[in-house]
Amino acid sequence: MRINTGQGTIPFITLIGIWSISALNALPGLAVSPILGQLSETFPHASELDLQMLTSLPSLMIIPFVILSGKLTEKINNILLLQIGLGIFTLSGILYLISGKMWQLIAVSALLGVGSGLIVPLSTGLISHFFVGDERVKQFGYSSAITNLTLVIATVVTGYLAEVNWRWPFLVYLLPAVSIVLSFYLKRSMEKEAGTTGQTTLVSADKNTENTVKSKTGFMVGNLVETMLLYGLATYLVIIISFNLPFLMRAYHFSSGNAGVMISLFFLAIMLPGLAMKPIIKRLKDITLFTSFVFIAAGLALILIAPTEWFIAPGCILAGLGYGVIQPWVYEKATHMAVPEKVTLALAFIMAMNYIAILICPFVIDFFGWILHLHTQQFPFAFNLAITVAIAIYAWIRQKSFVFSSW
């Protein structure tokens, strides 16, 4: 079976390899969340900072290594870089399983971030290499959907594994071993396409981009920065659901199980638009991003309106649907903002904003809550709702600009 790329075909096994890399993007830090309570009992002398580092250190390490990986794609064999990242990722999974001290778990968390950071930009870089036009838009949508579906499934699985033994959730970090095997099929496809061996470089297949980029840096700098800020803000606006909804629902006297269901609905909703990006863009055209931010605003407003699941659930779904369109949209736009050999680096800059937004979100909310003397559980949602409305207005005004238009 062969898959249409918009410029030819590739074996289906090659596409499976690309999708497997997208699935891994959701894993860093995932195994730790369901076992935090058990870790505090297993390591009674561990401080709260130690436990926080286990969850945040992978994201912190990912940021510089995402950029480094994007830069390295210009200079070295990219499949080799991918295999190194996957090897480090898999090694961290093995080390998690045999670590018996808190400092060892923290050190392995840093190693996990290194491995994940190296492969993150390659997941989208591979799509930009093999696919063009509408087929690339579709694959970016699928990539986003796979990442978020993996997040939902892995969250459930690690929760069950944690009930058996606190070490078992770390088994999910062995999944990159499958991608290592599939990477050899990727290498074979790229070498066959290039007609060479050993000089494999990820570049955008859209050669028209080269005529668009006028900057000496090889990037459309202004548009790239605007896209980075857009994606970072969008991630910050919706990640509040994952971070703060459990506290809000606790204030509403719901159980943690209810909050977990709502958050699962949110991530499932993020997945859905990725399966139909082409018809969504064809229908909405230049108001695609405006509509996405309206959905996020409506979702946050519903969560605030009343302490009932009949409002919170559709709120989570609407916010997820809005963000689910934005994610593949910015990936596709980034491929047109750089000369071919710098496309993966442009994608690395974009994807780094996701992890930056996740890291700074709690600090932003705490800072403005302190400034405004508002410390209720509703404040984060009201604050982000105001920002979302402002960005939606900006998206409407800018709908004909390069970043926001559908051309």
Give the domain ranges of the chain. 2-202, 221-397
Q: What does the DSSP 8-state code read for residue 338?
A: B
Alpha carbon 341 to its chain centroid, in Å, reads 23
pLDDT score of 90: 94
pLDDT score of 231: 95
Residue type, 226: E
Name the β-bridge partners of 170. Answer: none
Same fold, 2-202 and 221-397: yes
Residue position matching structure tokens 């790329």: 5
pTM: 0.87
Q: What is the chain's Cα-based Rg?
A: 21
Interatomic CA distance for residues 379 and 384, integer angstroms: 8
Please, what are the averages of pLDDT over each run of 10 residues along the chain (407 residues)?
83 90 83 72 78 82 92 86 94 91 90 93 88 88 89 81 84 92 86 56 51 66 92 93 81 70 87 89 92 96 86 92 93 88 89 90 88 86 95 94 86
DSSP run (H or E) holding 348: helix 343-372
pLDDT score of 197: 41
Fold designation for 221-397:
Growth Hormone; Chain: A; (1.20.1250)
Fold designation for 2-202:
Growth Hormone; Chain: A; (1.20.1250)
